[in-house]
Amino acid sequence: MLDTEDFIKSLNNYKEHVRETLKENMISISSDTLEDAKNRSPIDIGTMRENSGYFVKEEENKITSFIGFMEFYSVYVHQGTGIFALNGDGRQTPWWWKGTTEKWEGWHLTRGQRPKQFLWDSLVNKISTIPEELGEGV
C-alpha cells in the first residue's frame, strides 16, 4: 500500500505558501500604485494625498485590492467638473464659487476644471507588470 499522507500535506503547505505570497505581492503592488498616484496627484494643501490608502481583501479563491482617495472632492479632481467632466455629465453653464483658502480667497467664475486622472494613469502605467509582479516567488 502506498502512503500519500506526506505528499498531501506538502501540497496543502504549498497551497498556503502560494496564497500568502500572492497576498504579499498584491500588498506591494497596491502600495506602489498608490505612491505613484500620490506623486501624480495635484497639490493644493495636501489633504487629498494624506487621506488616501489601499485595502487588500482576501476571500476563498480571490484576492482583491481597493486603492482610493477618500477626501470628498477627490472624485471631482480626478474626473473633472463642469464642461470638462469626463463622459460629458458635468454642469454645462458657468457658476460662481467662493474660495475659502488663502490661495483661492474671494469669488471666482468657473466653467469647471479639467480631469486629472492621477489614479487611472498610475494603474495604466502599472498594469502591464502586474501579472509578473503578482507571480514573483510562487
Predicted TM-score (pTM) of the model is 0.84
User: Do 72 and 95 share a domain, yes or no?
Assistant: no
User: Do 95 and 56 share a domain, yes or no?
Assistant: no
Q: What range does the domain containing 90 cover?
A: 82-113
Q: Which residues of 46-66 are buried (b: 16+ CB within 10 A; e: fewer)?
A: eebbeebebebeeeeeeeebe
Nearest CA among 58, 54, 47 for reference residue 32: 54
Share of residues in the chain with pLDDT > 90 (%):
77
pLDDT for res 35:
96
Residue 1 has pLDDT above 70, yes or no: no
User: Do 58 and 105 share a domain, yes or no?
Assistant: no
User: Do 109 and 122 share a domain, yes or no?
Assistant: no
Q: Dihedral of CA 16/21/26/28: which sign?
A: positive
Residues 84-113 have a mean pLDDT of 92
User: Do 62 and 27 share a domain, yes or no?
Assistant: yes
User: Do 12 and 72 share a domain, yes or no?
Assistant: yes
pLDDT for res 112:
95
Q: Per-residue pLDDT tens for 7-41?
A: 888 888 999 999 999 999 999 999 999 999 999 99
pLDDT for res 46:
86
Nearest CA among 47, 35, 53 for reference residue 71: 47
pLDDT for res 83:
96
User: Do 49 and 96 share a domain, yes or no?
Assistant: no
User: Do 108 and 60 share a domain, yes or no?
Assistant: no
User: Do 20 and 72 share a domain, yes or no?
Assistant: yes
Number of domains in the chain: 2
Q: Per-residue pLDDT tens for 42-85?
A: 987 789 999 999 999 999 889 999 999 999 999 999 999 999 99
User: Do 70 and 123 share a domain, yes or no?
Assistant: yes
End-to-end CA distance of the chain: 33
